[in-house]
Structure 1
Amino acid sequence: MDCLFCKIVNKDIPAQVIYEDDQVIAFNDINPQAPLHFLVVPKKHISTLNDINEDDRELVGHMVMTAGKISKNQGIAEDGYRTVFNCNNHGGQTVYHIHLHVLGGKAMGWPPYQATLKQPI
């Protein structure tokens, strides 16, 4: 399989790993969109959120709990942070292995993207 995140999980390519256990790995995003931007990636390959099944319920919950744990350790939990799963092309997914973006260290606006301006707000 030619999956970027599977290669990171297998240690075939390097990443700035900030957390790892038997189910997930978390590392800094190579193109950060906030002062702190990391990804929580399951070690099991699941292409999109649409491919999650009942057996993955605990794994996805573990991803979310891991995001919270790391956010506390990184000092952004009290001020707040954003978590995002992107799904497929229109959802902004570029690597087809589910991953949870965690962004913090600054105040976030909403909506995160104004389509008519085609720029972040």
Structure 2
Amino acid sequence: MHITRTRPASLRGPADNFTGTVWLDQVAAPELPSRLRMFSVHFAPGAHTAWHTHPHGQVLHVLAGEGRVRREGGEVEVIRAGDTVWIEPDEWHWHGAGPHTFMTHLATVEAAEDGTTTCWGAHVVDGDATPAR
């Protein structure tokens, strides 16, 4: 057993992967052989990810606020505190805050054997349901 009492500093979400103001707090990144990664992600109103996939899928659990999530070919879905979203492996998607609210979620992924957790694509274009890869 290992109890973590200190955390790395919050990191600003890089502009290459996010639109708007986003902060990332690492919650869990155990040493190998574990490949679990968990972050608390804080989105300002209107902020969101670019299109992306995860090799082993992703679980999002909304802690506070109201957000949006969309998968390739799907409609924008509203997500709220208490909702949990399962995103399939290699499914193109984006997620973030609603237009007028902050949103915080826990994002959990499993890294691939090479350590990769995310394949990033193009930024979301308003009204466009198809990711530009």
Q: Is TM-score (shorter-chain normalized) higher than 0.5? A: no
Give the TM-score normalised by structure 1: 0.29
Which structure shows the higher strand fraction?
2
Which structure shows the higher helix fraction?
1
Give the TM-score normalised by structure 2: 0.27
